[in-house]
Amino acid sequence: MKDTKAGKFLTSVSIGTATVWFSTHCGAGFASGTQELQYFANHGWYGPLMPLLTFAIIAITYYLGIETARQTGNFSYAVWSKDAFGPLSKICSIIMEITIVITTIAASAAAIAAGAELINQQLGLPKTVGLLLMFVIITLLCIFGEKVVRSNAMLMTVAILIIISIVIVLGLVKFAPNIHELFSTKYMNPNATKWSISGTKETVKAGFGNTLMWALTYAGFQIGAIGGISAAFKGAQFKNESRAAIAIGYILNIIMLCGICLLIFSNMPDIYTNEQARLLPTVFIVNQLHFKPLSFLYPILLFLALITTAVGFVFGMVSRLEPITLKKMDNKILKKTILTIIILLACFYISNKGLMFVVQVAYKYLGVISWIGIVIPLWIFAPRAIKKRDKLERSEINSQQ
């Protein structure tokens, strides 16, 4: 290992890891705007500022994970988690596996539900038809075309992020007076989404405590991606790379998330009380800009992003299950088809409950589980272990000099 004090901040590994974090967060759920509305913008004037706290929590957690991976040389979460969680490693490693399964099903279900809603809004087809279309398209791509989707995933991600950036700039210019008025009057939503573990359709007058719980929950379910982030950090040698990856990732994500939150907040309370608008808030915002190229391109790219997200998650789970299930089946295509359909049936069942169910309930459970099984144990045990390994590295270097 190299000296923990040495090394450049900006390396291909640190920048690459930051962009992986960025693309992981800014996927289909982010692009639809539903999460930003439910977790931040609908609560009150400080809701759009809560991402600053949320991503500080995510950044600290990710740092502990990737620095543990760098120090131990084990970039697979299944291995480094055994060093990170101390005496709770066996339990927490199992919880991490559970969060991956929940994340796969919930994120895929959200993509399917959002796709059905988009088809309904843009083409006027019933949501049931939209759900079936999404199911068929994703199944076929997982079986026959996952390579095409995966090879073009980054291109579609870049395209939708460029368009979102344009939307943010145009929107902030147009809605600046609305944003100023809402902040100056310290607007609080009298019917904000109520946080509860069991899930409820009740609303409450916006308050700091309720808003904070939604912000913490958002941090929790986003941390489910820690395994992918640490895997992307493979090849890192220096502590500075860990710091740079987290700093760059934090800045990129905050700019995008706060930007979208402000745009959605600028249209409160209408965007929240309008049932159609709250299902796909960014599409509603784009239509308010009255810019035809965006109105045409955004729904198309959003649909592609939804497909890419679902295929990526489902195929990842199929690849994980393929070696350990149906071992006597030699026909790989048939085996892949069966696994894909089983996973998608679970996703389809949840997506049939609606996008709001996934965002408000499934993601909430995922957030709570992540806090209990990942965030808190990692914050307790990882810092001490990291400091211990730092001292060991320094003593080894001093002894060689």
Give the model's confidence band at 2: pLDDT under 50 very low, under 70 low, under 90 confident, else very high: very low
pLDDT value for 4: 46
- Cis, bond preceding 269 (omega within 30 deg of 0): yes
Q: Which residues have a Cβ under 8 Å from the Cβ of 32 and sit 6 or more positions away?
A: 114, 280, 281, 282, 283, 302, 306, 355
Q: What CA–CA distance (Å, rounded) separates 359 from 363?
A: 5
Phi, psi of 391 (to 5 degrees): -65, -40
Given a contact cutoff of 8 angstroms between Cβ atoms, the answer to whether 280 and 34 are in contact is yes
Given a contact cutoff of 8 angstroms between Cβ atoms, the answer to whether 236 and 13 are in contact is yes
Given a contact cutoff of 8 angstroms between Cβ atoms, the answer to whether 103 and 224 are in contact is yes
Given a contact cutoff of 8 angstroms between Cβ atoms, the answer to whether 254 and 52 are in contact is yes
The region, left, alpha or beta by phi > 0 then psi within -120 to 50, assigned to residue 192 is beta
Segment among 129-138, 187-196, 223-232, 381-390 with least mean pLDDT: 223-232
Q: Is the pLDDT of residue 3 over 60?
A: no
Given a contact cutoff of 8 angstroms between Cβ atoms, the answer to whether 356 and 279 are in contact is yes
Instruction: Give me the mean pLDDT over the 47-58 stretch.
Output: 95
The CA-based diameter of the chain, rounded to the nearest angstrom, is: 73
pLDDT value for 12: 87
Give the model's confidence band at 7: pLDDT under 50 very low, under 70 low, under 90 confident, else very high: low
Instruction: Give me the mean pLDDT over the 39-59 stretch.
Output: 94
Please write the tens of the pLDDT for every residue from 345-386: 888 888 888 877 888 888 888 899 999 999 999 999 999 989
Please write the tens of the pLDDT for every residue from 123-155: 999 988 998 999 888 888 877 766 676 666 667
Q: Is the pLDDT of residue 400 over 80?
A: no
Tell how far CA 194 is from the center of its chain.
22
Q: Is the pLDDT of residue 37 over 90?
A: yes
204: β partners: 192
First-to-last CA distance in the chain?
Answer: 15
pLDDT value for 397: 63
Structural domains of the chain, with CATH: 12-400 (1.20.1740)
- pTM beyond 0.75: the answer is yes
203: β partners: 193
pLDDT value for 199: 67
Helices (H), 26-145: 28-32, 34-36, 51-72, 77-84, 89-123, 127-144
Instruction: Give me the mean pLDDT over the 19-44 stretch.
Output: 85
44: β partners: 188
Please write the tens of the pLDDT for every residue from 164-180: 899 999 999 999 999 99
Please write the tens of the pLDDT for every residue from 313-329: 787 788 778 777 887 88
Could you tell me what percentage of the chain is helix, strand and coil, using 3-state DSSP and rounding each to the nearest 5?
80, 0, 15
CB burial of 179-196 (b: ≥16 within 10 Å; e: otherwise) equals beebbeeebbbeebbbbe
Please write the tens of the pLDDT for every residue from 258-301: 999 999 999 999 999 998 898 899 999 999 998 989 989 899 88
